[in-house]
Amino acid sequence: MKRIGILGDIGSGKSYVAKNFGYPVFNADYEVSKLYQKNRKIYQKLKKILPDYIYKFPIDKIQLSKAILANNSNLKKIIRIVHLEVRNKMQSFLKKNKHKKFIILDIPLLLENKINKKNDILVYVQSSKKNILKNLKKRNNFNINLLNKFKKIQLPLVYKKNNSRFIIKNKFTKKSVKDEIKNILRVIKNERNSTWYRNNWSVG
């Protein structure tokens, strides 16, 4: 099983690219959303440290937004509580899909939380500022101040780009994304075949 990690700016279309690989995807944002909706233990923990903002279950975006915008440290407090549970979910996902050729990790804080491994194949999703803003405005409760809070806890984009093996230029058209993914998978598969050949047919 090869792990492919998807990196990029908020709103660049990481999840869109991830699902077009055609392999199992671990979507951290989706898992976090489920925790807020269904996990009472998470609710109790967040309510304990943020009682002025987290007060009803399931936790909705309004409660979370108010908490994050109120104080610079609140976002980190929330992440610390949620992060462990997301890691557990990821481990279950990896175990379930251990016989797949590839799995895709769509995790916004993949590098920041040191979830990546040395042999992970990192793919950076690049999109124009115009397309990113257009994509973000489609989201419910889009808030530029909230967006900036999330950006502050992330590593610089140039670092992520420089540490990625591949770059996908996302124009939000399915054909162009599919073509770039096809090229990436072809390169990886060819390398695997070459390694197998060297290991099994080397002389000496």
Same domain? 91 vs 127: no
Same domain? 121 vs 83: no
**Domain CATH for 150:** 3.40.50.300
Q: Is the Cβ–Cβ distance between 31 and 111 less than 8 Å?
A: no
- Residue where a domain stops, chosen among 76, 96, 116: 96
Q: Sorting pLDDT into bands at 50, 70 and 90, what band is 191?
A: confident
CA distance 128 to 171: 8
pLDDT digits (tens, 9 = 90+) for 100-129: 999 999 999 999 999 999 999 999 999 999
Same domain? 20 vs 35: no
Same domain? 38 vs 82: yes
- Residue where a domain stops, chosen among 65, 96, 127: 96
- Mean confidence (pLDDT) of the chain: 92
pLDDT tops 80 at residue 192: no
Which residues have a Cβ under 8 Å from the Cβ of 43 and sit 6 or more positions away?
Answer: 36, 54, 57, 58, 59
Domains held by the chain: number: 2
Which residues have a Cβ under 8 Å from the Cβ of 38 and sit 6 or more positions away?
Answer: 58
Same domain? 57 vs 130: no
pLDDT digits (tens, 9 = 90+) for 5-58: 999 999 999 999 999 999 999 999 999 999 999 999 999 999 999 999 999 999
Extended beta strands in the chain, E state: 2-8, 25-27, 102-106, 121-126, 166-169
- Residue where a domain stops, chosen among 54, 69, 96: 96
Same domain? 139 vs 92: no
Same domain? 158 vs 192: yes
Q: Sorting pLDDT into bands at 50, 70 and 90, what band is 194?
A: low
Tokens of 92: 């279950």
Sheet holding 102-106, edge to edge: 25-27, 102-106, 2-8, 121-126, 166-169
CA distance 94 to 91: 5
Same domain? 109 vs 172: yes
Q: Sorting pLDDT into bands at 50, 70 and 90, what band is 199?
A: low
Same domain? 7 vs 66: no
pLDDT digits (tens, 9 = 90+) for 121-165: 999 999 999 999 999 998 877 899 999 999 999 999 999 999 999
Q: Sorting pLDDT into bands at 50, 70 and 90, what band is 202?
A: very low
Strand 166-169 with 2-8, pairing: unpaired
Tokens of 123: 């793919």
Domain residues for 34? Answer: 30-96
pLDDT digits (tens, 9 = 90+) for 43-77: 999 999 999 999 999 999 999 999 999 998 999 99
